[in-house]
Structure 1
Amino acid sequence: MSSNTLKQAAEAARSKSSNMSKQGSETVAAVGNDFLHTPFMRAALPFINGGVSGMIATTVIQPVDMVKVRLQLAGEGVATGPKPTPISVAREIIGQGKVLDLYTGLSAGLLRQAVYTTARLGFFDTFMKSLQTRAKDNNTQVGFTERAGAGLAAGGLAAFIGNPADLALIRMQSDGLKPLAERKNYKSVVDAVTSIVRSEGVTALWAGATPTVVRAMSLNLGQLAFFSEAKVQLKAHTAWSSKTQTLTASAIAGFFASFLSLPFDFVKTRLQKQQRGPDGKLPYRSMADCFAKVARQEGLLRFYRGFGTYYVRIAPHAMVTLIVVDYLGWLTK
């Protein structure tokens, strides 16, 4: 057999192998694409993408959340006295332990995102798709009121489902404020939830559920509704790139989410942190009672204490969450 014949045979074999490899990769891609477009996955993806994006954002923002909670619990029941700052609180936490103490409660925060953000973004996306389908059938556009309604409903449902993880997070973050002898020293979110159920009962996992739900509804109104509306308006009135529009819309959403939800977040923290005193009574009977006592004893401005810290916690969290969920939505469309 001549050398030319051998070369031709080798090239033919290589060509055949290359074609088979290409066909194999195309088959794998097609199978993956078909899987992503099954009815189950199309329904599940908004929830999966929402949970992943929320957990990434929480990992980034957790130290800020820790400082925010300690600020809200400082000076409880007193109108005057030292006014802590985010820097002084962070310095105190680090001074009492180590830098990683700023990540106290991360496991609870991640569980909360896995439940709460998965549900709220998933529900919101599901509600919006339904509204868009109806608007298309009626030859109309989805308005801000409808976006707001979708945000409120998604936030309320998700917050109620995720309240146990949220409660565990607050308990873990506030544990360091107690005298050494009274600290629970929770090892993880599972330990915190188990301890609460054992000492206070299962229903205690929904302590502070009312302000949690109201906070989530107001936060989602600010975050999701304003994000969705801002994107529509920026797309219609600017020639900015898609990434710039998403970043700007998420910053706008972060501000409104912070402003609308902080008073409810403040009350939620107080209610979830409280425990029965020696007389068997709780400091606050309800959300309304907490609002009234704080306003009377500490002043109305106390509800907005730490707004800067809260904004630094909410806005970047909203921005990271919304940008990641947007990107994941693009990858899996």
Structure 2
Amino acid sequence: MAEAKQQQQQPQAATAAAASGVWKTVKPFANGGASGMLATCVIQPIDMVKVRIQLGEGSAASVTKKMLANEGISAFYKGLSAGLLRQATYTTARLGSFRVLTNKAVEANDGKPLPLVQKAGIGLTAGAIGACVGSPADLALIRMQADSTLPAAQSRNYKNAFHALYRIAADEGVLALWKGAGPTVVRAMSLNMGMLASYDQSVELFRDTLGAGEVTTVLGASAVSGLCASACSLPFDYVKTQIQKMQPDASGKYPYTGSLDCAMKTLKSGGPFKFYTGFPVYCVRIAPHAMMTWIFLNEIQKLEKRLGL
């Protein structure tokens, strides 16, 4: 009887171990995606204002006033489905891969903290992976946010993110889903180099060097992370937005042949500061999103620890 019971328990133990192994692999990705999606629900209105400023509709105050007067509160959440889809793909991939690669690198470094240069390299890699996975959702988000600024004849009238993806693929071909992927990847690499590497480095500074508590460490490190991400990525974000929202003229010609052409024409017409159009709003949007992503991630990890996951 005892032997039979032991034999019965062995497959159950093996199944439990396998499930635990799968969860351990999936967990960094699931946590990253969930924290990014929660942060996006809070940040979406600021992101909407930022895109309209970049599209040349005026200052933050005038854009906000115009949106409220003409379209109401719902205008600030236009494209939310695409924003959530973007986080479910892009942030799941970038935060998950960053944590996996960092853990492997720390293991190889005998458990010692990694130098900033190595963290930056891992951040660049994670950003590239995330951008490749999330580029279609990012394109849908930009198109949906820009749609309401177009004349009625040019409006694409996307119903939601999935409808936008379907229409883009049907009207322009499947590869069009990765239109602007080049600048998207470069922008994501620069943003994640700033955001991810600086966060881990700041955590070590606040916690280990300054002896700060958990709340101070998370808030301080995420604020530094958001500022670094903003400064590194806005020029690339500006070019990416211009490429993704461009439309052909009457003769079918696009205003830019690519991201480099867009960058050169922007530099020639507006100078280097043109790339920092909307920087205050961009910084206000990126920094809180980074902060809330890290805060939500920290809370999710604490919850999992309490539940024994």
TM, length-normalised to structure 1: 0.84
User: Which of 169, 174, 178 matches 2:150?
Assistant: 178
User: Could you tell me how far apart the structure 2 residues matched to 1:38 and 1:236 are?
Assistant: 31
**Structure having the higher Rg:** 1
SS of the equivalent of 2:192 reads helix
1:145-164, aligned counterparts within 5 Å?
145-164=117-136
Is the CA contact (8 Å cut-off) linking 1:223 and 1:257 kept in structure 2?
Answer: yes
Runs of 5+ consecutive residues of structure 1 not aligned to the other structure: 1-30, 76-83
The question of 1:61 aligning with 2:43 is answered yes
Offset at 1:278? Answer: 1.7
User: Could you tell me how far apart the structure 2 residues matched to 1:321 and 1:208 are?
Assistant: 25
1:214 matched to which residue of 2?
A: 186
Offset at 1:140? Answer: 4.4
**1:25-76 deviations in Å (ceiling 9; x for gaps):** xxxxxx9xx689711000000000000000000000001000101111117x
The question of 1:305 aligning with 2:305 is answered no
1:133 matched to which residue of 2?
A: 107
User: Could you tell me how far apart the structure 2 residues matched to 1:44 and 1:332 are?
Assistant: 13
**1:59-106 deviations in Å (ceiling 9; x for gaps):** 00001000101111117xxxxxxxx21010111122221111110000
2:300 matched to which residue of 1?
A: 328
Q: Which amino acid is 1:61 matched to?
A: I
Is the CA contact (8 Å cut-off) linking 1:186 and 1:192 kept in structure 2?
Answer: yes
User: Could you tell me how far apart the structure 2 residues matched to 1:174 and 1:87 are?
Assistant: 18
Q: Which amino acid is 1:209 matched to?
A: A
1:258 matched to which residue of 2?
A: 230
User: Could you tell me how far apart the structure 1 residues matched to 2:19 and 2:105 are?
Assistant: 21
Is the CA contact (8 Å cut-off) linking 1:127 and 1:150 kept in structure 2?
Answer: yes
SS of the equivalent of 1:38 reads helix
Is the CA contact (8 Å cut-off) linking 1:218 and 1:257 kept in structure 2?
Answer: yes
Is the CA contact (8 Å cut-off) linking 1:35 and 1:41 kept in structure 2?
Answer: no
1:268 matched to which residue of 2?
A: 240
User: Could you tell me how far apart the structure 2 residues matched to 1:231 and 1:35 are?
Assistant: 32
Misfit runs of 4+, over 6 Å: 34-37
Q: Which amino acid is 2:85 matched to?
A: L
Offset at 1:238? Answer: 1.2
**1:89-130 deviations in Å (ceiling 9; x for gaps):** 111122221111110000000000000000000000100110
Q: Judge which range, 228-237 or 244-253, deviates more.
A: 228-237
User: Which of 33, 36, 41 matches 1:51?
Assistant: 33
1:191-210, aligned counterparts within 5 Å?
191-210=163-182
2:9 matched to which residue of 1?
A: none
Is the CA contact (8 Å cut-off) linking 1:36 and 1:332 kept in structure 2?
Answer: no
Offset at 1:327? Answer: 2.2
User: Could you tell me how far apart the structure 2 residues matched to 1:258 and 1:222 are?
Assistant: 8
Offset at 1:329? Answer: 2.3
Q: Which amino acid is 2:198 matched to?
A: F
Q: Which amino acid is 2:60 matched to?
A: P
Q: Which amino acid is 1:88 matched to?
A: S
SS of the equivalent of 1:180 reads coil
Coordinate RMSD, CA, aligned: 1.6
Q: Judge which range, 52-61 or 295-304, deviates more.
A: 295-304
User: Could you tell me how far apart the structure 1 residues matched to 2:93 and 2:126 are?
Assistant: 7
Is the CA contact (8 Å cut-off) linking 1:108 and 1:166 kept in structure 2?
Answer: yes
In the alignment of these two chains, the number of paired residues is: 291
Runs of 5+ consecutive residues of structure 2 not aligned to the other structure: 1-12
